[in-house]
Amino acid sequence: MTTTPYIFDANGTDFTESVIERSRSILVLVDFWAAWCGPCRMLAPILEKVVGEYHGDVLLAKVDTEAEQELAARYGIRSLPTIKLFKNGEPVDEFMGALPESAVRTFIDGHRPRASDRALEEAVTLHDNGDTDAAIALLTESEQADPDNDKTRLMLARLYIANDNFDDAEEALGRVGANTKLDPEFGAISTKLNFAKLSATVTAPDQLQHAVHQNPDDCESRLRLGAWALLNDEAELGLENLLEIVKRDRSFNDDAGRQNLLSAFTMLRSHPKLVAKYRRLLARLLN
């Protein structure tokens, strides 16, 4: 094989440097092959052609398993050819056997960073620095350029919510695909939007607290207070008020206490202990 800057032989001595370390900044395919393997000979020119088309965005390391048996054993190679893809210092995907060019490209493209993913990172930075309008403009342009990336729409919805632009947030969520709507992140953002609408007019949460203190059965005030608390880093206060609605009036707004409590559990995935506590409390009420 004639090596190029993008295609090279790798062995047990240099594998850490040539594959693992380089994969922290660029995708590296590793072709585990052997001279006696017919499918390996079929796949090799396809791999080399496809990798060459990426002009350095993807590298191909060739490992002769006859000469590098320890390296093959380390990565559990039991069938040839086996192609492993390394990213960020780890093997993240693989395929075995000879694939056509189109399938190899699809395999690689599934792991390449998309321009829209880089736009997402930049938008987060803009938002964190206080320029949410610029972040929204960037993601709007990115969505038009890459309409298949639902992550853009989810982030747009988050930013619209941050700007109290609930109609646009709802439209952004409406544009995501059916599979993405099954993602917990979609559920969390939808819940956040609902709570944001409920708490939009809350200017004095202490007045709501006073209202429920004066009238513990004031479920409307509890619902708005709970929504406000969940959006303002007072998760337990929010969950407690929603649970109280379940205790006091299951018929309020078509069982709004239980429904919003379940939605809050989805939104609070980063608080597993708190969620577990209130799941138990809710279960006791319902059983």
**Residue 218: strand, helix, or coil:** coil
Alpha-carbon distance of 77 to 198, in angstroms, equals: 56
Closest CA to 175 of 199, 149, 194, 201: 149
DSSP characters over 16-31: IIIIIIGGGTSEEEEE
Closest CA to 35 of 9, 12, 7: 9
Report whether 127 contacts 159 (CB < 8 A). Answer: yes
Q: How many CB atoms lie within 10 A of CB 111?
A: 14
Q: How many CA atoms lie within 13 A of 44 on its CB side?
A: 21
Considering the candidates 29, 37, 123, 230, report the single residue annotated as catalytic. Answer: 37
Considering the candidates 10, 28, 30, 40, report the single residue annotated as catalytic. Answer: 40
219 is catalytic: no
Report whether 201 contacts 175 (CB < 8 A). Answer: no
Active-site residue numbers? 37, 40
